[in-house]
Amino acid sequence: MPTIRSAGFSRLLLALIYLLVAGRVSAGPISVTSGYVDLGPFSGPLLLAGERGFTFHSRMGRTSGFIFALNCNDDPLRCLPGTTLNVGIRADTSELGGAATLDGVTHTGLSGPMSPESIAIEITGSLVLPALAPTAVATAPFTLTGTFAHTVSGGPEVTRESLNGSGTVTVSLKAHSAYPGSWYVTRLFYSLNHDLPADWLSADVGLVGQPGSAVFSNGSFSIRGSGADIWGPTDAFRFLYQPLMSDGEIIARIDTLTNTNQYAKAGLMMRQSADTASAHVLIDVKPETGVEFMTRSASGDSTSFIAGAMQPFPVWLKLTRTATTIIGSISADGRSWTVVGRADLPTTPLLAGMVVTSHDDSVTAESLVAQVSMSASTLPSPWSLTDIGDVGPAGGAVFAGGNFTVQGAGADIWSTADAFTFLFQSVSTDSQITTQVTSLDNTDTYAKAGVMMRASLDPSSAHVILDVRPGGQIELMMRGASGGETAFIAGTMVSFPVSLRLVRTGAVITGYVLSVLSGGQWTAVGSVSSSLPPAVLTGLAVTSHRAGTLTTAVFGTTTVAAGSGAFRSQDIGDVGIAGGVAYNGQSGTYTVAGAGADIWETSDSFQYAYEAFCYQCVFVARVVSLQDTNPFAKAGIMIRESLAADAANILLDVKPSGDIEFMVRTSTGAPTQFISSAKVSTPVWLKLTMDNATTVTAWIGPDVNQWVSIGSVAVPVGAWASPLAGLAVTSHDPSQLNIAVFDRTP
């Protein structure tokens, strides 16, 4: 059985000796008011924040402390249903490392208890393991205690601050595959956010005159911040943030800001650290509705004003990071965005979140912030990103809200070799790719963004591309063999946004476009006979046509369909009459025929056209039409745990009357719950998004650029072994089929 290492006692003994020798001044205590520790079986982030601007950022795992709950994964007797699971943690910075900030000063040399600067923490708590099932989630309260030892202004005297806090631990479990009858811990999530949603931290940055605060209620944040300003070489403000480990974006609507001073600020920031002099990029709004986009390019440098705009409250703000570039944008409605400015911040990871400063140390300014969303660019499976050829600066991609934002440099896609950024996946049969190019920066008249099928990642590889240039020129081009010349096949003119589609049938690849200038219909640009192999790389291509400059392209809903459209289909439950799905490659529509009594109560009967789903993914489709076989007939989109009739699921559907239903069955065999409704007319776009591993949000809209949320629900999709997503149709009458038509392209 696993045993606690004796090193813990040795470190404790050394700490006691050091206290006797060095002499320390006791201070504190510091209340840790927000933070989290997120641990799978191996490792995860540890982030704490509290009074006096205290923050501690680190990462821990099995080898960097004692994580007692993980012991049961190696010892089945510790993980039997009904036994008590110790969810405690014990660790210090001799193993953790990391950086801490207090009173505006950042301490980076944290080490073990013999060091003048160190942190030690202990979490205590326990829970009783539930009855065995395929998966389960259990929660329990915990208490955090610890110490933060540090010097002041580099002097010899050591101040010892005590830490204390409390919160809730969520333990994700699955049945142990090696030890039948026992549990296996898959994730531990410790949250100290009493007034905040999980993952958010709140702290004062720099020396502020009054302590700030952040509270979450009814879907909005109330953030109060003091401080002299965010300007010059140092800052003082309230920061509500999360770590951003890669490319990503944050969006928020600033509804109000107290007018404590004409230079008070509320906005969004990406920042290297919680240090008062940290490099950052900021987009903010002042009380008189002036928007500022600013940056401090290096720690301790002066802050630079880049650009500004005017936008009345409420004002939507967005920061998008792709590669080293951060773009600040504003909007009046959260749908149509205007770029305010761009700045470079090469460091990864960053802290991203919301800021408030009163510009007056004697008071706090309050800002109400709503519609906050933050997403990292973890690309949904099976997408991959690479630069092909000598591109100059590296490209990048962000996936958020169902859209890809891709940055790419490179000289061109032309002649005998290419240089561009490629977001791709592998497809081994006849297939098609469809996307909407919403925008493309005009770095050069020959810059390109489009869809491509390619034999390999070699710069000289054979390929077929359908692209659009900044002026609206469409190009269908092909390199027939590796190292051969690229040939222009056909073209036309369009306006943005434009939808592009490549369809491969055998050796023939056809390009289609859809835009206002094409009459709102899919129009063939041309066809080529290619020598591409059966397995090709299919995806999105972006080149700036300037090797030293990145261009940015925004792609809307993107689908890659193999064969009849990538969907598999099955009748779920006792449907009465067998259903099915048919795909039209040219129109891009799916015709789904389904019978069945209903999708309701504890068991369902319907036709399901489905594909694999990941909890970072988005599922989008438009219901073009459905038959009126019964007032309760349904056609919609569904995320489902399995193909069992009583499986957990989330359903967003429309009935023949135009009534929208958002419903959920949270676990196998549970009754279906009605969440919310709306009234529309078909055709209607439907979308289900995962805000995190446990929250699904439903959206409806007349097109893919105008979405309205009708509700969210907590379902542990992230814990499902093999989640599915697809199109669902039930006639609500087992004696007849309902025919519904869907499409998934704008």
User: What is the model's pLDDT at position 21?
Assistant: 37
54-68, 696-710, 731-745 — which is least confidently predicted? 54-68
- Write down the mean pLDDT value for the chain: 85
70-79, 328-337, 591-600, 644-653 — which is least confidently predicted? 70-79
Distance, in Å, from the CA atom of 341 to the CA atom of 578, rounded to the nearest integer, reads 56
Phi, psi (degrees; rounded to nearest 5) at 670: -75, 155
pLDDT, one tens digit per residue, over 136-167 is 888 899 999 999 988 876 566 788 889 999 98
Give the single-character DSSP code of 516: G
pLDDT, one tens digit per residue, over 459-496 is 999 999 999 999 999 999 999 999 999 999 999 999 99
110-114, 403-407, 504-508, 686-690 — which is least confidently predicted? 110-114
Coil, strand or helix at 69: helix
User: What is the model's pLDDT at position 562?
Assistant: 54
Q: Which of 520, 589, 503, 504 is nearest to 512 (CA)?
A: 503
- Residue 740 pLDDT more than 50? yes
pTM metric for this prediction: 0.49
pLDDT, one tens digit per residue, over 486-534 is 999 999 999 998 989 898 877 888 898 887 775 556 788 998 988 899 8
Q: Which residues contact 657 (CB under 8 A, 6 or more apart)?
A: 631
User: What is the model's pLDDT at position 11?
Assistant: 44
- Residue 449 pLDDT more than 60? yes
For residues 563-578, give the mean pLDDT. 78
131-135, 305-309, 645-649 — which is least confidently predicted? 131-135
**Which structural domains are found in the chain, ordered by start?**
7-191 (no CATH), 201-376 (2.60.120.200), 384-562 (2.60.120.200), 568-743 (2.60.120.200)
Q: Which pLDDT band holds residue 114 (cuts at 50, 70, 90)?
A: low
Q: Which residues contact 217 (CB under 8 A, 6 or more apart)?
A: none
Containing H/E element for 94? Answer: helix 93-96
Per the CB < 8 A criterion, the answer to whether 422 and 411 are in contact is no
3-state helix, strand, coil in the chain (%, to 5): 5, 55, 40
- Residue 1 pLDDT more than 60? no
- Residue 622 pLDDT more than 80? yes
Give the single-character DSSP code of 312: P
User: What is the model's pLDDT at position 616?
Assistant: 52
185-194, 412-421, 599-608 — which is least confidently predicted? 185-194
Distance, in Å, from the CA atom of 79 to the CA atom of 1, rounded to the nearest integer, reads 13
Tokens of 250: 């944050």
For residues 570-584, give the mean pLDDT. 88
For residues 204-215, give the mean pLDDT. 86
CA angle, residues 314, 316, 318, in degrees to nearest 5: 160
Coil, strand or helix at 261: coil
Q: Which pLDDT band holds residue 6 (cuts at 50, 70, 90)?
A: very low
For residues 701-729, give the mean pLDDT. 86
User: What is the model's pLDDT at position 691?
Assistant: 67
85-99, 441-455, 551-565, 624-638 — which is least confidently predicted? 551-565
User: What is the model's pLDDT at position 18?
Assistant: 39
Q: Which pLDDT band holds residue 745 (cuts at 50, 70, 90)?
A: low
pLDDT cut 70: percent of the chain above it: 89
User: What is the model's pLDDT at position 746?
Assistant: 53
Question: Which amino acid belongs to residue 418?
Answer: D
Task: Find tokens 């939507």 and name the residue.
Answer: 316
User: What is the model's pLDDT at position 583?
Assistant: 74
The residue that leads in pLDDT, 41 or 322, is 322
pLDDT, one tens digit per residue, over 231-282 is 999 999 999 988 786 778 899 999 999 999 999 999 999 998 777 888 999 9
Q: Which residues contact 134 (CB under 8 A, 6 or more apart)?
A: 174, 175, 721
Per the CB < 8 A criterion, the answer to whether 356 and 266 are in contact is yes
Q: Which pLDDT band holds residue 556 (cuts at 50, 70, 90)?
A: confident
Highest mean pLDDT among 68-77, 340-349, 465-474: 465-474
Per the CB < 8 A criterion, the answer to whether 631 and 655 are in contact is yes
- For 353, what's the count of Cα atoms within 13 Å in the CB-facing half-sphere? 24
User: What is the model's pLDDT at position 102?
Assistant: 85
In terms of phi and psi (left: phi > 0; alpha: psi -120 to 50; beta: otherwise), the region of 596 is left
In terms of phi and psi (left: phi > 0; alpha: psi -120 to 50; beta: otherwise), the region of 94 is alpha
Q: Which pLDDT band holds residue 348 (cuts at 50, 70, 90)?
A: low
Give the single-character DSSP code of 467: E
For residues 420-436, give the mean pLDDT. 85
Distance, in Å, from the CA atom of 396 to the CA atom of 394, rounded to the nearest integer, reads 7
- Residue 378 pLDDT more than 70? no
Distance, in Å, from the CA atom of 421 to the CA atom of 520, rounded to the nearest integer, reads 29
End-to-end distance of the chain based on CA atoms, in angstroms?
58
User: What is the model's pLDDT at position 9?
Assistant: 39
Q: Which pLDDT band holds residue 23 (cuts at 50, 70, 90)?
A: very low
Q: Which pLDDT band holds residue 4 (cuts at 50, 70, 90)?
A: very low
